[in-house]
Each structure stands twice: as structure tokens, then as C-alpha cells.
Homo-oligomer: A and B are copies of this chain.
Amino acid sequence: MQTIYFDKKPRLVATGTIAGPKECAGVVGKYVDKTLTDDMFGESTYEKAECKMLTYAIRQAIRNAEAKEEDVDMLISGDLLNQIISASFAARDFDFPFLGVYGACSTLSEGIALAAALINAGYYKKIVAATGSHFSSAERQYRYPLELGNTRPPQSQWTVTGAGGFFIADMGGCNSRLAVDCATFGKVVDFGITDVNNMGAAMAPAAADTILAHLKETGRGADYYDLIVTGDLGALGSRILKDLTWEKGVEIGKKHVDCGEIVYNVIEDEFQGGSGAGCSALVFGSYLFDRLKKRELNRVLLCATGALLSTVSSGQGESIPCICHAVAIENV
């Protein structure tokens, strides 16, 4: 069994979000806590800007939860940069323990699931899970220097500049009605995709694997959820996911939405949509969280997906193993 259940119903109390100018032109614009007009955020490098965004998101989540930093028991965080430096350097600014995780763009659901698991077990009372990404730091680390002006292929996606912090607490410590119900940790799935510009196709099989396992183990149909939210499959990957689940007799089409597919309003260079650990953190942490708080949505299955490649693995001819962790969040 991949699924674990949280009988004490730990609560998702608050989020803190920050986004770049391109992102704020889209659906998340009016929900984020802070809009950047300059994606350098006053720093001298993209990496430092990314770290500063993540630090902001963590601090803002604590603030929005009306908690104090000294009340927080742990930070669970990771990001896309080598050695997750955004998370590690952000953690340096806080006086609570740090659990570094790596799941590429699946970090959001991995972090929330782990936080809920540790709180539900009674180990800790208040944990912040956080992740983020930055277009320019990701582009130069994973692909080419921006200065090169490379053409992007039509199957590519655009790494989201943004970060989200998620404040999770035991039910006694808050008045939130939004509970983390259960989580399904995913297996690594590799369908042999080697095109590093086609993350959606690589990640869709992992999303299908975890979603199908979740529905089977919990005995729930797709209809149980108001939304089944994937992280950053993009338009192409989302179609592949729907096909793959449909082939197994599960119709998720009407319930499915992909954060990467909806994050940008106008499709220019983004082609298949947004990607990056910040994509789901931003869309779920602002727009969808707002709808959950207003009870326009009541049951959401959050399935962030990650492509576990590196430039070295791709350079050595390896295909792209992927993973998806699912976490069910419900109004109770």
C-alpha cells in the first residue's frame, strides 16, 4: 500500500505566495501575497532572488497563519537548484529544524504529505512546507544561458518564477477547517522519454500511476474529488495523462486541472504552459487555496509531478525517471 491516512486531520492553515510579473498577469495575480515587478527581487543573481522568494513565502505563510516563528517546529523544503541551495539558504534564516527534500517539481506534495504525516503522528505541531522556482536560474542550470537566445521547441514549458509556503498544524492549534486527509507516495516511473524539452510526456505516466494507485487503495472514484490537480504536466502532458488513465478505465477528464496549463494567460513562449516546483506551489497556494477556503472547492487531490533528471544523466544518454506524490486536502 502506498497510501497513508491522517486520522487526526492535520490542518492546512495558511499559505504564503510570491510571483514574478509574467505569472501575476495570469490567474494567480489577484491572489498572491506579493507581486514582483522585477524578478531579480533586488538581488544580484537569479539564484539569490529565488532563495529570497522562498524565504519570503515561508515567512508570509507563518504570518498569514497568525503564528510566530518561534512556534514553528520544522521547515520541509526543496527546490530545483543543484543541492537545493534555495531551500538550504532560506532555512539558514530561521531558528527551527530543516528537513531537505528533493522531488523536483513534486516537492510541493511531498512536503505537504510529510508535514501532515509528522504532525498526525504527534511528533510536531506546526510545520512549514515550502518550495519555489525561478525561470532564469532553472534555464541556465538545466538548459542554456539566457544570453544565448536559444529557440525553444513547441513541446517545451516555461519555468514559473514564484514560491509558496504552506503552514500545516495539528487541529488543536488553529481554527482552519481544511484538513490533509491522506497521502499516496509515488513510485519512480520511466517510460523511456529522453527529450528534456518534453517534461509533460515524461511525467504523465508517473501521474497516472500514482492517481490510479490512490483511487484504487482508497476505494474512491475520481468523482469523489472536486478537482484532481496535477503540478506541471502542461497541455500536452495533461492530454497524455487523461489518455493513460482512460485506458485503465478511469475517467478523470472532467475533474482534472493542471497548474502548468492554467498558470499563464497568454501562450507565447510558454508553449505547453508553466513548469517548475514553483508552478504548483503558486497556483495551489494562491488561486486554488482561495477557492478551498471559500468552499467553492471541498475536496482536492493535489498531485505534483517531478522529472528526476539532471544535465549529467541526460548527457550520459539516460531517459527521464519521474515521480508523483498525491495528497488529499478536504474541507471538514
Give Cα A52 to B221, complex, Å: 39
Q: Does A74 contact B (CB under 8 A)?
A: yes
- Whether A102 lies near B84 (C-beta < 8 A) is yes
Q: Nearest CB to that of A312 among chain B residues? A: B47
Number of interface residues of A (CB under 8 A): 55
Chain A, range 295-332, C-beta contacts under 8 Å to B? 308-313, 316, 318, 321, 323
Residue-wise interface mask of A (41-81) relative to B, using a CB-CB cutoff of 8 A (1 in contact, 0 not): 00011011000000000000000000000000110001011
Cβ contact of A97, chosen from B85, B89, B187, B312, cutoff 8 A: B187
Give Cα A45 to B310, complex, Å: 15
Known: A81-B310, A82-B312. 18 other contacts (CB 8 A): A4-B118, A4-B123, A47-B312, A82-B311, A83-B104, A83-B308, A85-B308, A85-B312, A88-B323, A89-B321, A91-B187, A94-B188, A99-B185, A100-B323, A102-B102, A114-B114, A117-B121, A120-B121
Chain A, range 75-134, C-beta contacts under 8 Å to B? 78, 80-85, 88-89, 91-92, 94-104, 110, 114, 117-118, 120-121, 123-124
A binding-site residues for B, Cβ under 8 Å: 1-2, 4, 44-45, 47-48, 73-74, 78, 80-85, 88-89, 91-92, 94-104, 110, 114, 117-118, 120-121, 123-124, 141, 185-188, 190, 308-313, 316, 318, 321, 323
Given contacts A47-B312, A310-B81, whether A98 and B188 have CB atoms under 8 Å apart is yes
Given contacts A91-B188, A91-B321, whether A101 and B100 have CB atoms under 8 Å apart is yes
